[in-house]
Structure 1
Amino acid sequence: MSLRTRLSLILILSTGLIWVSAMVWINSSTRAQVQTVLDARLEESANMLGSLIREGGVTFTEPFVLEDTSAGGDDPNRLLYCQVWSLRGELVGASAGAPNDKLAQTPGLVTSIIDGEPWRVFTAVNSELGLRIMVGDRITVRDSLVSDVMRGLVWPALVVIPALTLLIWVVLGRGLSPLAKLESALRARGPDDLSPLPAARDPREIRPIRRALNQMFEKLDHVRRTERDFTAFAAHELKTPLAGMRMQAQIARRAPDEASRNRALEAIETSVDRSDRMVRQLLDLTFIDYEAADPDPLVPSALLDEAAANADLQAQAAKVTVLTVTHSLPMVHIPKVLIQSALRNLVENAIQHSPGGGTVTLSARHEGEWIVFSVRDEGLGIDPAHRDRVTERFWRGPGTMSQGSGLGLSIVAAAVQRMSGRLTFGSSQEGQEVRIHVPLSPD
């Protein structure tokens, strides 16, 4: 169902409900007012007839029929009928068409049932004349008056409601035309067109939609550029060690002696290790970017010991010592795969940038609502001028001598962001310290 149809139905149903409620209220109010007015007329007519009798305008020498000039003959729809009874219970006179039965048994205003039909009757007792004067009318006549009033409201409604429905449909169509134009503009765009929507004089309610769409296009464009650059960089970085392995394999095949062959094989092993690490890092990035991870209850010291153990072979090859400094710390609730990936890449980076014989120290401490993991090396450190760029993917600082791919710290930054943590860098005067702040609770 379209928005236009839904709004039209809501407005039409609301208008119809208001109209019906108004008619119910008018019917009730009109019925009460008619009842009050006609009851007053009954009382006034009874008192007037009593005055005429007292002044001699009407005499009773024998029973007679008192004519009511408000309507002629015995018309059953005439408004008023009267009876005059003596206090002894004798019928003295009655208007034409009045019932034979007594209209009421008690004085004042009462509702009587005569011949199975409800009547409204007023009885005036005149002790001076010795008479009971009764004036009444049929309740069906009163209902007919109210029905005439209601019919006067229903017939205009039958004309107004269809006209109102058409008017609502047309007005909503014009009011929603900016949305229709926006839809047309989006349909006309190609799948590769992520440029912002052109500015337009939209209503105030449409502007947030246009702004949100432009922000989404901007983010999608950024993601697309990032993925394109990522693919290009990854292909380039993988191509380099593969080309090196091919060349070293040819050298090993043609080596004139065992020493040359061993050097070529060592170079191949180095290229394989570099390619293996890059593939693992690419897999880490893919998981961090696109996979969901639930928090796990983890012991910080166990995470540090595991990271040190996993880096043991790399540390031995680089002649670097990896130490862990552990304390009694509360458990932390974070996704295990994310913190493992972050710590592994930090430790590998630290070993790669440490001099031979250096030490990489892993530690953790409790600071308020945070657990702070720290990895410190004894290398040259990160130039403060480049700290804003070290977490960019495939970025390596100028003059870097290591064989890294430029993915390590970008993986750490992405994982820390997914854990709602912070990544900070310490002083580089005596080596480089990188800290990961993660919250104790997943909230």
Structure 2
Amino acid sequence: MTRRLSLRLRLTLIFLFLAIVAWGASSFVAWKQTTDNVDELFDTQQMLFAKRLIALDINELTAPERMARTPKKLKHGHIDDDVLTFAVYTTDGKMVLHDGDNGQDIPYSYRREGFDNGHLNGDDDLWRFVWLTSPDGRYRVVVGQEWEYREDMALAIVAGQLAPWLIALPLMFLLLIVMLHRELKPLKKLTQALRVRAPESAEPLSPKGVPSEVRPLVEALNQLFSRTHAMMVRERRFTSDAAHELRSPLAALKVQTEVAQLSNDDPLARKKALIQLDTGIDRATRLVEQLLTLSRLDSLDNLQDVSRLSLEEVLQSAVMDIYHPAREAEIDVRLHVNAPDVTRTGQPLLLSLLARNLLDNAVRYSPRGSVIEVTLNADGFTVKDNGPGVAPAVLGRIGERFYRPPGQAVTGSGLGLSIVRRIALLHGMTVTFDNAPEGGFTVAVRW
């Protein structure tokens, strides 16, 4: 697996690369602009000097004359002999005056007026010349300057401008390293906090000092930790509840199995033990199914695969599902639809499970010959039986997990109404439990 460079090193290298590119680009632009400005300045200087020479009375010069040679070094100064040089010719190419240095080596040219490039006699260096003809047409004046001098001048100007930045670049580089270390320090603290964090901890990470670009990551991690902690709590509770609730039915199953094994000589006792064993298996199976259902419901934060459902169809389906168990218990289940066009957005399987659990609970705890009435209204539906109801003292605990009112003859796990409450909460509904005034137990689901 390829190991990536650290963020600090990558940022440093990126800054260094950008600084070098920017410095190189600015150097090139500065060089071009400076050379253009220097060329314009010296061209103007050459032209002005040539015009001053032409303004002299050259007609008095009857023989070639030259000025004194310029010394290389002067007190308090330094003179370059290639800054400017000049010569004066007659139109037939006879030199009548030069500057005493390089002017005597300027070759005569009878080409057009203006600027031209060329070489001195016996020299390979490129020079810049400007040619002008006197007003009377008898003389030609040439003023020259070496191109290398111009380039050196432009280079000196550019170097003077960019050298401070080149010196400041290492300082900026060191300052960048210090600033990156300071700015990335909160990330190192965050890394350390994550490294020593307990797996089950629900304490959120502190966003203090964290850059704004990283703060959404910290908030997302806190949300993840919260969800993970809630999931671990649910799993622990599920494990604890399952271990506690399954202990009794499994112990009963073991006892009935032992009774059946010891009843080889008593067919009646053996048959009774097998019947109770079958009943215990059904009870354990139902308990496991309800535990798994409740565990899945607890892990849901929002519903998926939702659709618009007709509550009348949901209740009709639940009544049809409970029809045969109710008939065996000699219980009549009646559906009253006061609002036939009521629809809700929900998960079809969960809403069907809610209705079936309510009807199953009513059938299981109602005496034989009872009537269960399911009534659909515009703002909810109710399931009412005419059984004994529950004591007012325990009415507030109905719907708690694994809670069953004392004195119940029917076996159960105390999870059915808990599942109803969780499904209703996921659908934005409320569930209330109450004793009916005329007797019986009523469950109202509102929205």
Q: TM-score, normalised by structure 2?
A: 0.69
Q: Which residue of 1 aligns with 2:233?
A: 225
Q: Equivalents in 1 of 2:94, 2:336: separation in Å? A: 123
Aligned counterparts of 1:411 and 1:8: Cα–Cα separation in 2: 58
Matched ranges for 1:23-102 at <5 A: 23-51=27-55, 53-54=56-57, 59-63=60-64, 69=70, 78-84=82-88, 93-95=97-99, 96-97=102-103, 99-102=106-109
Is 1:295 paired with 2:302?
no
Matched ranges for 1:236-275 at <5 A: 236-247=244-255, 268=277, 270-275=279-284
Query: Alignment partner for residue 278 of structure 1, among 287, 310, 313?
Result: 287
1:358 and 2:371 equivalent?
yes
Q: Secondary structure at the match of 1:276?
A: helix
1:99–1:87 Cα change, 3 Å: closer
Task: Answer whether contact 2:133 2:139 (CA < 8 A) is retained.
Answer: yes
Structure 2: gaps of 5 or more residues: 74-78, 437-441
8 Å contact 2:332–2:371 — kept in the other structure?
A: yes
Q: Is the 8 A contact 1:342 1:411 kept in 2?
A: yes
Q: Which amino acid aligns with 1:273?
A: D
Quote the sequence identity (%).
Answer: 26
Does residue 1:179 correspond to 2:187, yes or no? yes
RMSD over aligned Cα atoms: 5.0
Per the alignment, in what secondary structure is the counterpart of residue 311 of structure 1?
A: helix
- How far the C-alpha of 1:231 sits from its partner, in A, is 0.9
> Is 1:11 the equivalent of 2:15?
yes
Deviations 1:313-366 (A, max 9, x none): 44334425164859567896x65554444444444345445565232527597x
Distance 2:143 2:272 in 1: 132
Amino acid of the residue matched to residue 423 of structure 1?
Answer: M
Q: State the alpha-carbon separation in 1 of the partners of residues 393 and 127 from structure 2.
A: 103
2:430 corresponding residue in structure 1? 424
Question: Quick check: 2:319–2:333 contact (8 Å CA) kept in 1?
Answer: no
Taking the TM superposition and a 5 Å limit, the aligned residue runs for 1:172-211 are: 172-189=180-197, 191=199, 194=201, 196=203, 202=209
Give the Cα separation in 1 of the matches to 2:393 and 2:97: 120
Deviations 1:170-205 (A, max 9, x none): 44224323332332343344545x263797974565
User: Can you list the C-alpha shifts for 1:211-266, whole angstroms capped at 9, x where unaligned?
Assistant: 76566545544432332222111122122233344556677877999998887766
State the alpha-carbon separation in 1 of the partners of residues 49 and 189 from structure 2. 71
Q: CA deviation at 1:146?
A: 2.2
Structure 1 residues 339 and 432, CA gap change in structure 2 (3 angstroms): closer
Corresponding letter in the other structure for 1:15: A
Residue aligning to 1:169: 177
Give the direction of change, closer, same or farther, for the CA distance of 1:406–1:143 in structure 2 (3 Å limit). Answer: farther
CA distance in 1, matches of 2:108, 2:420: 104
The answer as to whether partners of 1:103 and 1:134 remain within 8 angstroms in 2 is: no
Tell me the matched-pair count.
416
Structure number with larger C-alpha Rg: 2
- 8 Å CA contact 2:373–2:383 kept in 1: the answer is yes
Equivalent in the alignment of 1:142: 150
Aligned partner of residue 413 in structure 2, secondary structure: coil
Q: Which runs of 5+ in 1 are unaligned?
A: 366-371, 438-443
Structure 1 residue 114 corresponds to structure 2 residue 118: yes
Find the aligned partners of 1:158 and 1:374 in 2 and give their Cα distance: 82
The aligned amino acid for 1:359 is: I
Q: 1:12 touches 1:165 (CA, 8 Å); kept in 2?
A: yes
Alignment CA distance shift 1:23-1:411 (3 Å): farther
Q: Which amino acid aligns with 2:305?
A: P
Question: How far is 1:31 from its partner?
Answer: 2.5
CA–CA distance in structure 2, aligned partners of residues 125 and 68 of structure 1: 25
Structure-1-length-normalised TM-score: 0.69
